């Protein structure tokens, strides 16, 4: 019997000939192992392998995709139990919160959140009817009960989900206790970290002076000097590599890079490390550091990911109450052509450099990113990101980048998620959409079916392993 919640042909195009080809391509790749080279799951889950608590704490309170949509329609974050920074009250009854989601589930019609949630509800928990006010309690109880069984502990789910490898993301000062705990176990190579040094690079952070000092303490380097600071970062990169990291990640507001003289760097660092920099200097420091970090990537072969273009914490009142990552980061216009030039002029032709570029500004796909990746040997394009990690977003990515960059300058899919249970759902969307895109090329006689099948496999599995040096 066909499930109402989830159709086997979902996301395939209506045209029967195209759908037939898409189905055929998808059958060949749907069960390939999942490579998740960029994401934000908690390594504690895999190290401790404890049970998840309940449906609400799993699906609502940590998921900014979910609660921002509810917030946009007038539901307060405190009604949703979102944890607060300011010590104010927040709802603590998980069943009451779950009912709120159910009562407002219609808001998510045609959003990727709905697609992911429905897929998890159906595929992981065996629920077959769409979530609605009437079945909210049943949903909550089924999910929460199953979470108590061993089959739903993180490692079991990771096997069940056929996740071959998952990368988490940690700050430069993180002591990596959870990854350390996994060392020597069979999980060591399946759960790896990623080096994200924004905490010691982003000079606009209030804690930057402290962070640079801490960086000195934990590395034994003198981070009061430019050279000592760079050395300390090198030391941390090496530690991260020993915990499996093959990549770094950089979430700057812009893609700006710089190529200053040593003397200029020293003067700038002096201001930054003593808390005396202004906004312009902070931007210049981040820009210079992208170039420095590219140089380090050439040395140690770590793959560099650049994720620019988010205006973080746009809603200042909400930020003061609830803090970061609460659904109010908004994309902005992002330039790559001028911004990346200092870095590319210095290192753009280096054989050992690998940079993966992401964007929240889709206008750059055809105009800037595909032409850059279609020329520079060091550049590849990350998949459609964040707001664009969606069926329509992925289609726009492929339609707008493929003709200039080809498939081989892309790196497969990233789920980029904190929502562990949704990982298979997210990869499944990407697989379906890639097969759909390829099927269109086949039926329009722009690509042979044989070639399409080969490319589908690469997009699903090979490119991620190669681009992130995972193999």
Of 12 and 45, the one with the shorter C-beta distance to its own copies is 12
Footprint on residues 318-377 left by its own copies (CB under 8 A): 318, 327-333, 335, 337-338, 341, 344-345, 348-349, 351, 360-363, 366-368, 370-377
Footprint on residues 394-413 left by its own copies (CB under 8 A): 399-400, 402-409
Of 195 and 468, the one with the shorter C-beta distance to its own copies is 468
- Of 238, 266, 325, 392, which one interacts with its own copies (CB under 8 A)? 392
What minimum distance in Å lies between the beta carbon of 207 and its own copies? 23
Q: Give the binding-site size for its own copies (rule: CB under 8 A).
A: 92
What minimum distance in Å lies between the beta carbon of 343 and its own copies? 12
Q: Write out the two tokens for 267.
A: 């003067």
What minimum distance in Å lies between the beta carbon of 379 and its own copies? 8
Footprint on residues 445-464 left by its own copies (CB under 8 A): 445-448, 451, 455
CA torsion sign for 128, 427, 431, 328 is positive
Of 266 and 392, the one with the shorter C-beta distance to its own copies is 392
Footprint on residues 80-109 left by its own copies (CB under 8 A): 106-109
231-240, Cβ contacts within 8 angstroms, sequence gap of 24 or more = 233/172, 233/197, 233/200, 233/292, 233/293, 233/296, 234/296, 234/299, 234/300, 236/172, 236/195, 236/197, 237/195, 237/296, 237/300, 237/302, 238/300, 239/176, 240/170, 240/176, 240/193, 240/194, 240/195
Q: Write out the two tokens for 138.
A: 């049943």
- Of 23, 30, 68, 241, which one interacts with its own copies (CB under 8 A)? 68
Q: How far apart are CA 431 and CA 116, in angstroms?
A: 14
52 DSSP assignment:
P
Footprint on residues 125-144 left by its own copies (CB under 8 A): 130
Footprint on residues 216-275 left by its own copies (CB under 8 A): none
Of 25 and 200, the one with the shorter C-beta distance to its own copies is 25
Q: Does 110 bind its own copies (CB under 8 A)?
A: yes
Query: Of 239, 255, 452, whose CA–CA distance to 338 is shortest?
Result: 255
Q: Does 308 bind its own copies (CB under 8 A)?
A: no
Q: How far apart are CA 374 and CA 411, in angstroms?
A: 13
Of 208 and 405, the one with the shorter C-beta distance to its own copies is 405
Q: How far apart are CA 335 and CA 406, in angstroms?
A: 21
Helix (H/G/I), strand (E/B), else coil: 35:
strand
- Of 37, 39, 94, 112, which one interacts with its own copies (CB under 8 A)? 112
Contact 115, 356 (CB under 8 A): no
What minimum distance in Å lies between the beta carbon of 300 and its own copies? 19
What minimum distance in Å lies between the beta carbon of 406 and its own copies? 5
What values do phi and psi take at 134, rounded to 5? -70, -30
What minimum distance in Å lies between the beta carbon of 172 and its own copies? 28
Q: Which residues have a Cβ under 8 Å from the Cβ of 409 and sit 6 or more positions away?
A: 370, 373, 374, 379, 380, 381
What minimum distance in Å lies between the beta carbon of 462 and its own copies? 13
Of 10 and 138, the one with the shorter C-beta distance to its own copies is 10
- Of 74, 87, 88, 126, which one interacts with its own copies (CB under 8 A)? 74
Q: Which residues have a Cβ under 8 Å from the Cβ of 55 and sit 6 or more positions away?
A: 94, 98, 139, 140, 143, 144, 147
Q: How far apart are CA 85 and CA 320, in angstroms?
A: 7
Q: How far apart are CA 76 and CA 459, in angstroms?
A: 40
Contact 151, 161 (CB under 8 A): no
Footprint on residues 424-443 left by its own copies (CB under 8 A): 440-441, 443
Q: Does 7 bind its own copies (CB under 8 A)?
A: yes
Footprint on residues 187-216 left by its own copies (CB under 8 A): none
Of 32 and 447, the one with the shorter C-beta distance to its own copies is 447
Of 133 and 377, the one with the shorter C-beta distance to its own copies is 377
Q: Does 469 bind its own copies (CB under 8 A)?
A: no
Of 201 and 467, the one with the shorter C-beta distance to its own copies is 467
């Amino acid at each position: 019997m066909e499930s109402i919640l989830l159709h086997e042909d979902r996301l395939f195009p209506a045209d029967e000939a195209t759908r037939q080809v898409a189905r055929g391509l998808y059958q060949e790749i749907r069960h390939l192992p999942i490579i998740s080279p960029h994401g934000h799951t908690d390594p504690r889950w895999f190290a401790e392998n404890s049970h998840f608590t309940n449906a609400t704490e799993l699906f609502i309170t940590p998921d900014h995709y979910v609660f921002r949509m509810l917030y946009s329609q007038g539901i307060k974050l405190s009604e949703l139990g979102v944890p607060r920074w300011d010590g104010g009250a927040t709802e603590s009854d998980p069943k009451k919160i779950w009912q709120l989601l159910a009562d407002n589930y219609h808001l998510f019609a045609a959003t990727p959140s709905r697609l992911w949630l429905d897929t998890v509800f159906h595929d992981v928990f065996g629920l077959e009817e769409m979530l609605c006010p009437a079945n909210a309690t049943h949903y909550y109880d089924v999910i929460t009960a199953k979470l108590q069984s061993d089959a739903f502990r993180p490692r079991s789910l990771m096997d069940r989900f056929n996740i071959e490898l998952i990368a988490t993301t940690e700050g430069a000062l993180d002591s990596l206790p959870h990854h350390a705990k996994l060392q020597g176990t069979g999980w060591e190579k399946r759960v790896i970290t990623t080096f994200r040094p924004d905490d010691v690079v982003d000079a606009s952070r209030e804690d930057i002076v402290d962070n640079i000092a801490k960086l000195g303490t934990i590395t034994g380097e003198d981070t009061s000097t430019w050279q000592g600071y760079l050395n300390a970062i090198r030391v941390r990169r090496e530690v991260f590599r020993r915990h499996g990291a093959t990549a770094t990640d950089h979430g700057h507001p812009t893609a700006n890079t710089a190529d200053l003289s040593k003397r200029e760097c020293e003067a700038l660092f002096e201001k930054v490390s003593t808390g005396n920099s202004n906004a312009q200097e902070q931007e210049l420091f981040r820009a210079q550091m992208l170039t420095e970090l590219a140089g380090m990537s050439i040395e140690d072969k770590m793959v560099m990911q650049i994720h620019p273009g988010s205006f973080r914490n746009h809603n200042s009142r909400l930020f003061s109450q609830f803090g970061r990552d609460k659904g109010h980061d908004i994309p902005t216009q992002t330039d790559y052509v001028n911004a990346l030039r200092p870095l590319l002029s210095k290192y753009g032709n280096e054989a050992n450099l690998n940079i993966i570029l992401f964007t929240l500004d889709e206008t750059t796909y055809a105009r800037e990113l595909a032409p850059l990746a279609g020329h520079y040997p060091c550049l590849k394009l990350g998949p459609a990101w964040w707001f664009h990690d969606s069926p329509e977003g992925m289609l726009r990515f492929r339609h707008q980048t493929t003709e200039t960059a080809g498939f081989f300058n892309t790196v497969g899919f990233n789920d980029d998620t904190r929502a562990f249970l949704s990982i298979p759902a997210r990869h499944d969307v990407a697989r379906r959409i890639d097969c759909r895109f390829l099927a269109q090329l086949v039926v329009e006689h722009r690509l042979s079916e044989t070639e399409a099948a080969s490319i589908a496999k690469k997009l699903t599995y090979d490119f991620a392993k190669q681009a992130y040096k995972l193999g």
